[in-house]
Structure 1
Amino acid sequence: MRIPSSRIGTFFVAAALSVTLAALVYPSMLGVQNASSNPVRVIATTPYGPLTEADRNFVVFVRSAGLWEYPSGQLALKKGTTQAVRTAGQHLVIGHAALDASCRRIAPLLGVTLPNQPTPQQQGFLNTLTSDTGKNFDTDLANILRVTHGSIFNTIAKIRSTTENTLVRQLADQANDVVLDHITQMEKTGLVNFDQVNVQETAPPKLPAAQVTPPVPPAGQPPVVLTPPPGVPTDGVPVGPPVGAPTAG
């Protein structure tokens, strides 16, 4: 299926994913005033291992992704015109609620400030899905979410293979399971334009850092909690191994 040219501009999410780990510097985090662009720089020593910029940015990104993909799943449950799209919505809601719980659990242990709003670009994707109806909604959901999850998949593998922090490693394990499941669900809709998706993942345009950085929440603002709404079945939805009550070491 060919995506109309008027909608191709929507699918530049891979750019966000390719530069996000460098852009999400969050200078207020951990007292960092002049954040380096070096992702391997250790910014904190924790009981769970050293925390690098890439580690911190990964936790922030997983949280940020949930802040728009969770409501996208809610929209799919309400607006999807096929059972496959509605099932994909179910998986989005359940999977990102589980990841969000892990992020909220480990963030204070690592001294990481979590966003309460998605990035401007992510909010734009959510606005598109909110205004979409009918088949346009189904097609946009499948393709936008396939690009986002496909692009972050490689990042998860890199974090998992390089981090020395046990909590970040556990989060990467969980994210790997959830993201792979969501990739599969988007493909099961039968609506993914693989040619367009591959272009966006392999040759993404560059975006300003401001477009791919979630706003820092006001001091003292409690974290938004993503909780599956009543009536959404969780059976058979992979959520990965949760990041449980951690122990040092």
Structure 2
Amino acid sequence: MLKRLAQVVSALAIICSFAVPSASAQPDFGSEYTPTQFGPLGPAGRDMLVKVRLAGLWEGPAGRLGLQKSSNPRVKEAGQHLIDGHRELDAKVIELGRTLNVPLPSEANADQQGWIAEMTNAPAGSAEFDRIFANRLRAAHGGVYKFLAVVRTGTRNTLIRDFAKRCMEVVLDHIQVLEATGMVDFNDTQAIPLAALAAPAPSPTPAAVPTVPQAAPVVPRTQNIAQQDANDDYSDGLLGVLVVVAVAGGIYLWSGGRPRRSSRE
């Protein structure tokens, strides 16, 4: 009897070893993904860290210009929100860059430096400064907000997901205070790319469609992720069937493989 029981246990162990994948194995997302203890880090996650760092390098200084040069209290309020928000995000993105080994820029790019130059050259206390301030910053925040939503939805890295959520909260706050200045021109489709995307095109010709910078990357490998989940479900179902078969075989072995004799014999 004990020998048969040992045979059943051994059979179950062998079946489970083939049916269950190793717990330490991680799905292969491709060479562009880096495995970390927080989940795979892909191109979109790295790009998010770079973009947030770049945003802080020009939007923080832009906020200080708003405090210094505007006579509009709402512009000054928006400037203070920019300073406070990017102080928080700058500290966090530098920390995440070190943790995830992502190199980050140390100066704003050429476009961002040009926007700062526009604000610097606009007369202090003028409506021109306030318009440049509100529209340039609102356009930038609109594009970044869409990009963050894509990353937040598609990433499997918990650090990136949590940081994207916080960035979206800060960016939405900045959008709201910039719009509250009353200086945002939603008819300016070059300054506000979201308006261009929402408006129907007057003509099917390419010349009639305004050029809109594309900030959001392709969502990384969501189809492969779904396929991986389906394969996991298939493996679980297969394991269940094999266990039932093994138990039935064990009962058969336990009984000696012979039908029970009738009490009349």
Bin the TM-score by the shorter chain.
0.5 to 0.7
**Quick one: which of 126, 130, 138 aligns to 1:138?**
130
Judged with a 3 Å threshold, the aligned counterparts in structure 2 of structure 1 residues 115 and 137 are, in CA distance, closer, same or farther, namely same
Corresponding residue for residue 171 of structure 2: 179
Give the superposition deviation at 1:153: 1.1
Give the superposition deviation at 1:42: 3.6
Give the superposition deviation at 1:84: 0.1
Aligned positions, number: 171
2:62 corresponds to 1:72: yes
> Greater RCO between the two (CA within 8 Å, min separation 6)?
1
Judged with a 3 Å threshold, the aligned counterparts in structure 2 of structure 1 residues 45 and 86 are, in CA distance, closer, same or farther, namely same
CA distance in 1, matches of 2:87, 2:31: 30
Read off the aligned partner of 2:48 and give its amino acid letter: F
Corresponding residue for residue 193 of structure 2: 200
**Quick one: which of 15, 36, 48 aligns to 1:58?**
48
Read off the aligned partner of 2:173 and give its amino acid letter: D
Identity of aligned residues (%): 39
**3-state DSSP class of the match of 1:113?**
coil
CA distance in 1, matches of 2:151, 2:180: 27
Give the superposition deviation at 1:71: 0.1
Q: How does 1:1-249 map to 2 (within 5 A)?
A: 42-133=32-123, 134-197=126-189, 200-201=193-194, 202=197, 205=211
Give the superposition deviation at 1:204: 5.5
Read off the aligned partner of 1:205 and give its amino acid letter: T
RMSD: 2.3
Read off the aligned partner of 1:69 and give its amino acid letter: E
Q: CA-to-partner distance for each residue in 1:18-67, whole Å, 9 max, x for gaps? A: xxxxxxxxxxxxxxxxxxxxxx9643111111110111001000000110
Read off the aligned partner of 1:143 and give its amino acid letter: N
**3-state DSSP class of the match of 1:168?**
helix
Give the TM-score taking structure 1 as reference length: 0.64
Judged with a 3 Å threshold, the aligned counterparts in structure 2 of structure 1 residues 41 and 162 are, in CA distance, closer, same or farther, namely farther
**3-state DSSP class of the match of 1:100?**
helix
Q: Which has the higher Rg, Structure 1 or Structure 2?
A: 2
Read off the aligned partner of 1:125 and give its amino acid letter: W
Task: Give the unaligned 5+ runs of structure 1.
Answer: 1-39, 208-249
CA distance in 2, matches of 1:43, 1:160: 16
Give the TM-score taking structure 2 as reference length: 0.61
Corresponding residue for residue 8 of structure 2: none
Give the superposition deviation at 1:197: 4.3
Q: CA-to-partner distance for each residue in 1:192-243, whole Å, 9 max, x for gaps? A: 1011147633266377xxxxxxxxxxxxxxxxxxxxxxxxxxxxxxxxxxxx
Read off the aligned partner of 1:144 and give its amino acid letter: R
CA distance in 2, matches of 1:62, 1:97: 11
